[in-house]
Structure 1
């Protein structure tokens, strides 16, 4: 085990890796309930998406474990599933045709992963943008935790307002948050995981966590329920490109965010980047074959890293738990439906990810503003990809007008132009 995952070299052990894997799994397990719910609104059978979600998560996460040796989980991405549903609704086409666009995007994605394009992209992104991306993701997931728990709610006057502290779910979240904060302050190992267990126990005894059974036979997976010919006959090339573009930058941004927090980045480079990037490309392609939207590296992986996970063994644990989950849908559904269990973790991990702010040169405006723009737009638009787009547009522009255009890698100019065109002609909704 130590030779395979280099545990000693990464200053970790089997117990810590298991805790990290369980922690990440518990913070992202909602996807196996939420993803089918979103895609079923586009007409895809719930059980088909459920099995496709688990299959793509297991395949992608195991690829990440054995080929890249990183504690990063892969699963169908939030945001991309909503985009899938909106495309089905607006195009007036069957979901099988749109799965064809996801499949083709996945194939192109895999081919690009064999090249050095995505590695070059990671190395070309300047430090200020990398720290901006990490911090932006931190605010994004912390805000997600606040929304999930009802601590912040929609407000007509100011878009967002303070929630009802008398609501049972909000009270439970606050209880779980303070329990976890105390454990973190005491430097208790596995504090995030223990905090979730404590919150779940309180939820059970207050009647908020209810189990409608324990074990249920898994649904039969459906294979290759797609219409690739329909993609060409309907000329859906821009849809393929949109899925490709969003997946590339969602995953690249998340990988950078998690890698920075875990200390994997070396001189601005991510070791074994090609293997890590191939994992989500494989998951996207396989997932589309069984019936789900594109997969991506999960920002919730930061919770497992915060709990001590440092190697692919953490990812193996996550994959095993996903595989086992197909037999325990009643329990999984109950945990996923009680956001108070996972919301405190997202809020605390968001704090961890703000560390990079201290390393941004705030006195140099053309470095500071693009990072600020990323940090601002990610949580406000609920899109990692949009935040990255804004950063890629503003950074080369400001460098160019300040006479430092030669310091910017050509690939930033290329993607800056692509993002401008994408926002004008193919805006995300």
Structure 2
């Protein structure tokens, strides 16, 4: 079924790769609820946008439009989007931990470094960074376990009632009536949010998949066909996830740990899924861990720093490329909105290109995006 002999692997090797992958990305199970709970957006509206995005992405995955859409966005802006999201995530971690706090004049300032939460965050951050430098698999997860133990014995972490519980779905999620999601997008004006989700899903999936395919040595003449299947799988996962109350699912760079451990087939993925399902029965533990910012903040800061590295590939030598990219990079965290940050850069980019006499180099779809984002900001 998994053609283990064809790919020169074994059940043992695939099991090990699956376990390695799970423990590498397991931190997401803890920090994701924290990110979603602090988004400041009603969960029904958020998952509505994710659901509609998944449907659109699924439809695009059956056409060549997804390649055209990716080509239309200049590389500098793609890198800026990834970098801006990374800076945004890191800022969330710094703010939640108390390392950075609100300030009436300067917006933000340094926090109280005598605070137990700040001290624990710094311990977790240093530990995670050291483990990553030493290339220890599951560095972020190990750091969370250690900081969790410290938090428990210092009274910062408390487990309420029980440790194991049957998984359940909250009331009001899309699974109750997915058809209404499309009308809700119109009612709440979520066009910009849906569009930004679509861009992020496209670029994150494409970049991650290309990197993982190269790492696994699977670049062949059949890569494009398999790449299309991966798009479809991501789209189905994102749509299904929103129905049951989670953010978009997509290929992530954490999967590289499983590849490095020898994973080559779908059996590795099956192992990851099985372990994740088992984890669902320990939701009280996950909830308790995510309630302590010092446990989750180090992972947010480090993941943000990894994503922010993409700005090094921006064409800083050409101002008409650099300024829009910079506006996106800083606009996303400063506006606390991926959509608004992207919109600012997209509005400026074609204007500068036209003034420079390079208006014909701008893809027609980018002009369409500019109009859509203009409507999003001004209407």
Deviates more, 1:167-176 or 1:181-190: 181-190
Query: Residues 62-100 of structure 1: CA distance to partner in whole angstroms, max 9, x if unpaired?
Result: xxxxxxxxxxxxxxxx85x81555x69xxxxxxxxx96x
Aligned to 2:165: 216
2:199 maps to which of 240, 245, 249: 249
Shift in alpha-carbon separation, 1:34–1:141, aligned structure 2, 3 A: closer
Change (3 A) 1:259 1:403: farther
1:82 to 34, 38, 41: 41
The one of 297, 312, 332 equivalent to 1:343 is: 297
Is residue 280–residue 297 contact of structure 1 (8 Å, CA) maintained in 2? yes
Distance 1:298 1:4, change over 3 A: farther
1:205 aligns with 2:133: no
Residue 225 of structure 1 is matched in structure 2 by 176
TM-score (norm 1): 0.70
Q: Does residue 20 of structure 1 match 2:12?
A: no
Match of 1:125 among 56, 73, 81: 73
Measured in 2, the distance between the counterparts of 1:320 and 1:208 equals 31
Alignment check: 8 A CA contact 2:332 2:338 kept: yes
Please say if residues 134 and 260 of structure 1, whose CA atoms lie closer than 8 Å, have aligned partners that are also in contact.
no
**C-alpha spacing 1:238/1:205, structure 2 compared with 1 (3 Å):** closer
1:308 to partner: Cα distance: 6.0
Equivalent-residue separation in structure 2 for 1:13 and 1:384 (angstroms):
37
Q: Distance in 1 between matches of 2:52 and 2:137?
A: 44
Equivalent of residue 401 in structure 1, options 355, 360, 379: 355
Given that 1:7 and 1:13 are in contact with CA atoms closer than 8 Å, whether structure 2 keeps it comes out as: no
Q: CA RMSD in A?
A: 3.9
Quick one: distance in 1 between partners of 2:293 and 2:6? 33
Aligned CA distance change for structure 1 residues 337 and 276 (closer, same or farther; 3 Å): farther
Check if 1:114 corresponds to 2:62.
yes
Contact 1:133 / 1:257 at 8 angstroms: preserved in 2? no
* CA pair 13-128 structure 1, distance change in 2 beyond 3 A: farther
Give the whole-Å Cα distance in 2 for the aligned partners of 1:181 and 1:105. 34
- CA distance 1:396–1:172, shift in 2 (3 Å): same
Distance across 2 between alignment mates of 1:348 and 1:235: 33
Does structure 2 conserve the Cα–Cα contact (< 8 Å) formed by 1:103 and 1:288?
yes
Say whether residues 1:29 and 2:24 are aligned partners.
no
2:319 is aligned with 1:365: yes
**Equivalent residue pairs, number:** 361
TM-score (norm 2): 0.78
* Match 1:147 to one of 95, 113, 120: 95
Structure 1 pair 387–393 and aligned structure 2 pair: CA distance change class (3 A): same
CA distance in 2, matches of 1:423, 1:7: 53
Deviation at 1:317, TM superposition (A): 5.2
Task: Confirm or deny: 8 A CA contact 2:23 2:138 kept in the other structure.
Answer: no
- The answer to whether the Cα contact below 8 Å between 1:128 and 1:368 also exists between their aligned partners in 2 is yes
Q: Structure 1 residues 229 and 248 mapped into 2: Cα distance closer, same or farther (>3 Å)?
A: closer
1:237-386 alignment runs, 5 A limit: 239=189, 241-242=191-192, 244-255=194-205, 258=208, 274-287=228-241, 289-290=243-244, 292=245, 295-297=247-249, 301-302=252-253, 304=254, 316=270, 319-386=273-340
| Structure 1 residue 221: Cα displacement | 7.6
